[in-house]
Structures are given as structure tokens and as C-alpha cells.
Amino acid sequence: MRTVDSDGNVDTAWGRLRRDAGTLKRIAGMVFVYATAGAKIRRRYHAKLASGGTYWVDEPDENEFDENPPAKNEPDKNEPDTNELDPNEPDT
């Protein structure tokens, strides 16, 4: 049984510092995975999208590039964004 109460002691300054450090670590992990593994997945997915293939979400290692991938990923007609990582993109 998982309680919905706090996962850690946040009553002390030290406890809150540990919580903040843990959150920062989690965020850094999220961004790192999005930028590395995520970039690979996005590239492979867009290659499948352009070639008419299927990206298998439950077997990511089997999603090799097509033999003749397009020179440039062709985005969806209605979606101009390629979804590549762009840290300079303005928020909202």
C-alpha cells in the first residue's frame, strides 16, 4: 500500500535540501534521457513516419532505420515541428 503522504521529511531545512537535490537529480535525468535516448527515438520514429513503417514502442531496439531512410525527416503535413531538442525554443 502506498500512502499519498510525503515521501520524505520536509520539516527540517536539511530535509528540504535533500528533497530539492532529489528533484534536481530527477529533472537532470529527465532532460538527459530526453536529449539522448529520446533524440534517437524521435529520429527513428520520424524515419518510420516518412517511410510508412511502424515504430515498435515495446521493442525499441528492433526499430532500426529503414534501408533507405529519407535524407531529411519529412514531418507530418500538418505539423511543421520536427520535435528535435531545441533548448532555445521559447517557452509557451
Partner 1 sequence: MRPYQPPAPEYAFGYRRPPRLGNEINGLGVADKVRATPVFHRHGETTDWQALDDFFSFINPWSVVVNMVRNTWQLRRSDGPVAGTRREVDDATAMAAEVKAIAKQAGAALVGITRITEEDLYVGREMPYEYAVCIGLDMVYEEMAFAPQKRAAVEVMRAYREISKTAIRVAEAIRAMGWPAKAYGNPNVTDILHIPLAQRAGLGQLGKHGSMISKEHGSNFRLAAVLTNLPMALDAPVDIGVDDLCSSCTRCVIDCPADAIVNEKRMVRGENKWYVDFDKCVPYFVKTYGCAICIEVCPWSEPGHGPDLMEHLLRKRAQRRTA
Contact at 8 Å (CB) between 63 and 56?
yes
37 is an interface residue for partner 1 by CB under 8 A: yes
Nearest-approach distance from CB 50 to partner 1, in angstroms: 8
Is 17 an interacting residue with respect to partner 1 (CB under 8 A)? Answer: no
Q: Residue 52: left if φ>0, alpha if ψ -120 to 50, beta else—which one?
A: left
d(CA 12, CA 19): 11
Q: Which residues would be at the binding site for partner 1 (CB under 8 A)?
A: 1-6, 10-12, 16, 19-20, 23-24, 26-27, 30-31, 34, 37-38, 41-42, 45, 48-49, 52-59, 62, 76-79, 81, 83-87, 89-92
